[in-house]
Amino acid sequence: MPKIHVHKAFRLQTSMNAWTPFEPGVHDVSEEVAGHWYTREHASVLEDAPEATKQAEDAEAVGETEGEVAESGSDEAGDDPDDGAGDAAQAPDFDAMSEEELRAYLKERDGKSPHPKTGREKLLIAAKGDAA
């Protein structure tokens, strides 16, 4: 049974006319669901990549852990005043990236390529959208 890693919540209507909701995270699904074009738009199919499945599950677990830290108000990394300089170095300089570099960044981040006719300005907005 293939697994999918859902990036954005969606609902899928299968051939049995039943609506199935999918929340972000890793899900075991049927071949029909994994192969559906709409599933592939909102999720990555992890059926042939056991390492990718593990990475997706680990990323999901890390996201849950980060959420717990944010809720508790504890920020161990924030105790060091030099941490701010390190955080700024991690964020890519999107304005200095070429259109090809922005496309590659978005493809790696989102798991799918932006539309070929999407202009640099919209690519820049998309890249900055999650970084801000």
Say if residue 97 is in the same domain as residue 126: yes
- The stretch 49-76 carries a mean pLDDT of 54
3-state secondary structure of 12: strand
Assess if residue 110 is contained within a domain: yes
How far apart are the C-alpha atoms of 10 and 14, rounded to whole Å? Answer: 13
Identify the band that residue 54 occupies on the pLDDT scale cut at 50, 70 and 90: low
Residue 58 has pLDDT above 50, yes or no: yes
Domain range holding 102? Answer: 91-131
Candidates 100, 91, 90, 94; CA nearest to 125 is 94
Say if residue 61 is in the same domain as residue 13: yes
Q: Within the chain, where are the H helices?
A: 31-35, 37-42, 50-72, 83-90, 99-110, 120-131
Number of domains in the chain: 2
Is the pTM here over 0.85, yes or no?
A: no
How far apart are the C-alpha atoms of 123 and 92, rounded to whole Å? Answer: 14
pLDDT digits (tens, 9 = 90+) for 71-130: 544 444 445 555 544 554 566 788 888 888 888 888 888 888 888 888 888 888 888 875
Assess if residue 7 is contained within a domain: yes
Identify the band that residue 132 occupies on the pLDDT scale cut at 50, 70 and 90: very low
Say if residue 67 is in the same domain as residue 99: no
How far apart are the C-alpha atoms of 52 and 17, rounded to whole Å? Answer: 31
Residue 52 has pLDDT above 60, yes or no: no
Whole-number mean pLDDT of the chain? 73
Say if residue 15 is in the same domain as residue 67: yes
